[in-house]
Chain A
Amino acid sequence: MTMRHAMRALGGILRREMLRLFGQKGRLAAAVVRPLVWLGIFAAGFRAVLGLSIIPPYETYILYEVYIVPGLAAMMLLFHGMQTSLSMVYDREMGSMRVLLTAPLSRWWLLAARLFANAVTALPLVYVFLFLSRFWEVQPPMLGYVLALPAFLIAGLMLGAVGLALSSLIRQLENFAGVMNFVIFPAFFASTALYPLWRFEEVSPALAIVAQLNPFTYAVELIRFALYLKVNLFALAVCCCAFLGFYALAVVGYDPGRGFWARRGAE
């Protein structure tokens, strides 16, 4: 495997994912409208009842909309990651996964390339949402948008790796909806996307612990801090470790001797 070959393959995978994403107008629209609905309707109702104290990275009192935008951006990455996982299962069912897995490249690289493509294709959608959220007075510093780029990539890689690992465990496309419900909703609601951790601690210490153990919380916090020109090193470390862990699981899951393909014939 030469570097040139590996990079050409990465480019090919990225191009294919872009073509597929931008060919699905409904998915594109849903990806942007979903967080806008949360921002425009859910946040509007909650800002009246939910007071927020000053918590890092914010240095003053903030609107609830300002608080939830990083969480909604992370939600977009979460949905995008799961959608990619779904497309992996779809590719497997439809046969096109075989083309990927019989390429003369290491499987770990092919999976990493797929993850990278997933994270990159989510970026335009997230930035469109961030741009639109400015109309709700969510206006982080312009430099924050730049600093948030690596945060989006890292969070996207981590959430994509979760989806990839899941896709290696799912046997049929039909099973995917159930898995989505058991992953997306608990990950999103039991995180700091909608409420700060101290709110959880007030209401339910047990839930606060769950939120602290939830890797999605750290994706949200990594993005939140980056948007306001700060680096949350702990969140960064957790995201990187979670990425490596889930990615390793995915590599094992797609191993020809141990993973899905080895079990498949037994179905």
Chain B
Amino acid sequence: MTALFVQGVSHGFGRRQVLSDVTFSIPPATMTVLLGPNGAGKTTLVSLVTGLYSAHHGDIQVFGHSMREAPLLGLAKMGVVFQMPTLDPDLTVSDNLAYHAALHGLSRSDARERERIELERLGIPDRRLEKVRTLSGGLRRRVELARALLHRPSLLIVDEATAGLDVASRRLFLEHVRILCQEGISVLWATHMLDEVAPHDPLLVLHQGRLCWSGRAANLAAGTSLADAFLWLTGGSK
């Protein structure tokens, strides 16, 4: 079954059209990269997929559940790392995770066990009692990823989560997500950074609210570099 199916989605704010007739699908256990320059509409698309906005036109399905008709079933299968930090800085790592676990209906014991597992996998089990405010940007992002995985989602949405991180933190974050993908989680990775795209990745290029390319990254870069192809597609260079 398709992990995420976006069909004919259009959305705007007032007179400004942000997305126009966007259609794509994400197969299970793949990492699909949504690439686009700033202002392309990536975050709006993520907000529509996560139910923060309601799409004006089109349909979004998460594992067959329409986000218009059965959004709760779709959300239950989804984990999200948002572009902006969403941890409560005045609470500890553990309290932040417990809050998320409760919102997803996990029991206290299950939540504690999941918290232990995910923090260990991300190499930060010793930080669980520290306040988020005291953590570095890279660590906060790892906590956000642990939180998004707490309820065992089948689809992970990552919206420019590595922006502002140093090279080592970015690499660690990306590698972890790729491992998750190998374990069967489907990933939609929104970014504007070309070096996060691997040649074998399914790639969607979004520009000015329109999907202007879809296929393997290697196919887009055939005969040229990915950067040149991307700039050509998005009008950044001839």
Contact = CB atoms under 8 A, between A and B. Distances in A.
| A, B co-complexed | yes
Interface in A57-77: none
Given A12-B98, A106-B72, A265 B105 contact: no
Indicate the size class of the contact surface on chain B. 35 or more
Contacts of A103: 75, 103-104
A241 interface: no
Contacts of A105: 72, 103
Contact of A265 (B53, B54, B91): B53
Given A8-B105, A98-B82, A261-B53, A104 B88 contact: no
B84 A95 contact: yes
Nearest to A113: B103
Contact of B90 (A11, A20, A104, A257): A20
B53 A9 contact: no
B102 A15 contact: yes
A102 B72 contact: no
B16 interface: yes
Nearest to B102: A12
B9 interface: no
A99 interface: yes
A263 B104 CA distance: 27
Interface residues of A, number: 37
Interface string B60-89: 000000000001111110101010111111
B156 to A, nearest CB: 13
A266 B103 contact: no
A47 interface: no
B86 A9 contact: no
B217 interface: no
Contacts of B18: 265
B1 interface: no
Contacts, number: 106
Interface string A1-26: 11011001101110110011001100
B131 to A, nearest CB: 9
- With most chain B CB atoms within 10 A of its CB, the pick from A102, A104, A262 is A102
B51 interface: yes
Given A1-B72, A16-B95, A262 B107 contact: no
Nearest to B86: A95
B90 A9 contact: no
Given A16-B91, A95-B82, A102 B13 contact: no
A94 interface: yes
B179 to A, nearest CB: 24
Given A262-B54, A265-B18, A98 B103 contact: no
A232 B32 CA distance: 61
A12 B74 CA distance: 21
Interface in A209-267: 255-257, 261-266
Contact of B16 (A96, A255, A264, A266): A266
Given A15-B99, A99-B99, A265-B13, A256 B90 contact: no
Contacts of A264: 13
Interface of B: 13-14, 16, 18, 44, 47, 50-54, 71-76, 78, 80, 82, 84-91, 95, 98-107, 147
9 contacts: A5-B104, A19-B95, A20-B90, A94-B89, A95-B82, A95-B85, A100-B103, A103-B104, A265-B13
Closest 4 CB pairs of A and B: A12-B102, A5-B105, A257-B54, A266-B13
Given A98-B50, A101-B52, A265-B53, 7 more contacts: A1-B72, A5-B105, A15-B98, A24-B90, A98-B52, A265-B13, A266-B14
